[in-house]
Amino acid sequence: MDLLVRRRFLPAGELGRPGSEVCITGNAVRMLLRFGYTKHPHLKPAIDWLVRHQKKDGGWHCFRSATGTLDCWEALAAFAALPRVSRSPEVVRSIERGAEFYLKRSLTREGPAPYRPWFRLHYPVHYYYDLLVGLDVLTSLGYGDDRRMRRALDRLEAMRNRDGSWNLDAHHPDSEDPNYRVRGPFYPLGLEVPGRPSRWITTTALSVLQRAGR
């Protein structure tokens, strides 16, 4: 981790290269926090960078866009991993704006028609979004009792198997966007079998429902 941080974090805060993507920097910040690097000198510049790159509508976007997208969840997930006592007023405000962005859209409403991959459950998620990703982030931030979460929570409960488990629906990349292209060779990382009960997804789903008081 130290080697990654020393070599890849830039002075402005982003990971990789100038103009890096929010998804990359957000995931890096989340991993630093989860592995206990809460006092690392690169952490605050990276968090500040994520705050600065929030769109006016409260969302984020990995590519050039005036508006945010539900698909860019990594900054909010990074803030969810940040202990409350370590959240600056700027981060708190960014969380509030980001959460509102998702809640206004009921976590899945974007575009002219429902995007079906968002209603399938995946693990690992890499940098992709789905219903459970959104629920995990929002309930971790304390929004489980917001009435605008009900539709997504009801959908998650409806996906539960009779034995109390949830299935892995698909491996990533799982896209129905005709413009989506994978550059170069790729090797899907699958830890479990699609269509079968998933321990990883079941654990996350149960945590979500517990936080939401269900």
Structural domain spans, the chain: 1-104, 106-177+188-214
Do residues 21 and 62 touch, judged by C-beta distance below 8 A? Answer: yes
The mean per-residue pLDDT over the stretch 188-197 comes to 90
Q: Angle 172-178-181 (CA atoms, 0-180°, nearest 5)?
A: 55
User: Of all residues in the chain, what percent carry a pLDDT higher than 90?
Assistant: 72
The mean per-residue pLDDT over the stretch 151-171 comes to 98
Give the burial class of 193: count Cβ atoms within 10 A of its Cβ; 0-12 exposed, 13-18 middle, 19 or more buried.
exposed
- How big is the chain, counted in residues? 214
**Residue 184: is its pLDDT beyond 90?**
no
Average pLDDT, the chain: 91
Q: What is the CA radius of gyration of the chain?
A: 17
What does the alpha-carbon distance between residue 171 and residue 189 come to, in Å, rounded to a whole number?
7
31-45, 75-89, 163-177: range with highest mean pLDDT: 75-89
The mean per-residue pLDDT over the stretch 133-154 comes to 98
134-158 as b/e: b if 16+ CB within 10 A: bbbbbbbbebbeeebbeebbebbee
**Residue 52: is its pLDDT beyond 70?**
yes
The mean per-residue pLDDT over the stretch 202-214 comes to 98
The mean per-residue pLDDT over the stretch 71-89 comes to 97
The mean per-residue pLDDT over the stretch 152-157 comes to 98
**Residue 13: is its pLDDT beyond 60?**
no
What does the alpha-carbon distance between residue 42 and residue 14 come to, in Å, rounded to a whole number?
9
Give the burial class of 26: count Cβ atoms within 10 A of its Cβ; 0-12 exposed, 13-18 middle, 19 or more buried.
buried
**Residue 85: is its pLDDT beyond 60?**
yes
How distant, in Å, are the alpha carbons of 95, 127, 129, 138, 208 from that of 84? 11, 24, 24, 15, 19
pLDDT of residue 139: 99
194 cis-preceded (ω within 30 degrees of 0): no
**Residue 149: is its pLDDT beyond 90?**
yes
pLDDT of residue 92: 99
What does the alpha-carbon distance between residue 31 and residue 47 come to, in Å, rounded to a whole number?
12
Nearest Cα neighbor of 23 from 39, 59, 91 is: 59
pLDDT of residue 18: 61
**H or E stretch including 68?**
none
pLDDT of residue 174: 84
Among the residue ranges 42-51, 94-103, 179-188, the one predicted with the least confidence is 179-188
pLDDT of residue 118: 97
pLDDT of residue 189: 77
For 84, the 3-state DSSP assignment is helix
Confidence bin at 6 (pLDDT 50/70/90): low
